[in-house]
Amino acid sequence: MTEQAMEAQIMTERPLLDTLTDMTAASVARTELEPRELMLVRLGALAAVHAPPSSYLLNIGPAADSGLTLEDAQSVLVAVAPIVGAPTALAAAGAIFKALGLAVAVLEDELDAELDELEDEG
């Protein structure tokens, strides 16, 4: 199984995903940061802990909903690079890139499934 397939499988495992969603919701409920600020902080923290692409993938939706852009993500990595180091910042950029690819793959699979359903109904 490829790394991308394993990460996609992680995203479909409901018990783990539900637990992480609950933890995130609790964190959001207890902060006074605005959504955009919260996502900037989370992105910096993900970079600092060498998060895998699947961790970034869990945050893509909320980041987009908060108005965060790819330029914002790049700025966060530039800001934390002197603290976390160049290799860590570069690894984070790669993980974000992989997460975006996974997000596209998941959306394509969902669209294919919906099209199959529509064809079966019609």
Domain extent listing, the chain: 3-121
Q: What is the pLDDT of residues 17-68, one digit of tens each?
A: 788 888 888 888 899 999 899 999 999 999 999 999 988 988 888 888 899 9
What's the predicted TM-score (pTM) here?
0.73
What is the predicted pLDDT for the residue at 76? Answer: 94
What is the predicted pLDDT for the residue at 12? Answer: 61
What is the predicted pLDDT for the residue at 79? Answer: 96
**Residues near 92 by Cβ (< 8 Å), separated by ≥ 6?**
46, 47, 50, 51, 77, 84
The Cα–Cα gap between 58 and 49 comes to 15
Q: Looking at the predicted structure, is the pLDDT value of residue 83 above 80?
A: yes
What is the predicted pLDDT for the residue at 80? Answer: 95
